[in-house]
Amino acid sequence: GAGVSQSPSNKVTEKGKDVELRCDPISGHTALYWYRQRLGQGLEFLIYFQGNSAPDKSGLPSDRFSAERTGESVSTLTIQRTQQEDSAVYLCASSLLGVDYGYTFGSGTRLTVV
């Protein structure tokens, strides 16, 4: 597609429920990233996928967070047993090969845990 697409744009969930966030990157972009943006904070790196290489999961805050990507296409970020501190905007970005090309960001999913 023309840009990075994320769905849903907004999600309200009850504490303890699982949520799944979706990211559809730009066609041909081999690199895909997930970031979290808490209110008043900078972006926090979560996970990075590059082609068929093993993902860098070093930014995932706990084992309740997981992400998958099939080849160079769609990625899903799953948060299990959501907590209130998980409330944030989750941003997905993709890039052609590497960071020196700059990221293209999606509009994000605003997650609110009540």
Partner 1 sequence: AQSVTQLDSQVPVFEEAPVELRCNYSSSVSVYLFWYVQYPNQGLQLLLKYLSGSTLVKGINGFEAEFNKSQTSFHLRKPSVHISDTAEYFCAVSYSGAGSYQLTFGKGTKLSVIP
SS3 75: strand
Name the one range near partner 1 by CB under 8 A: 15-23, 60-68, 71-79, 98-106.
98-106
How far is Cα 107 from Cα 90, in angstroms, rounded to an integer?
9
CB of 81 to partner 1, least distance (A): 27
Residues 1-40 that bind partner 1 (CB under 8 A): 4, 31, 33, 35, 40
Residues shown for the chain: 114
Tokens of 36: 């979290």
Q: Residue 45, interface with partner 1 (CB under 8 A)?
A: yes
How far is Cα 88 from Cα 40, in angstroms, rounded to an integer?
10
**What angle (nearest 5°) sits at the alpha carbon of residue 58, between those of residues 57 and 63?**
70
Binding residue for partner 1, selected from 19, 67, 93, 113, defined by CB under 8 A: 93
Nearest Cα neighbor of 48 from 101, 94, 107 is: 94
CB of 67 to partner 1, least distance (A): 15
Residues 53-92 that bind partner 1 (CB under 8 A): 56, 59, 91
Interface ranges with partner 1 (CB under 8 A): 4, 31, 33, 35, 40-43, 45, 48, 50, 56, 59, 91, 93, 95, 98-100, 102-108
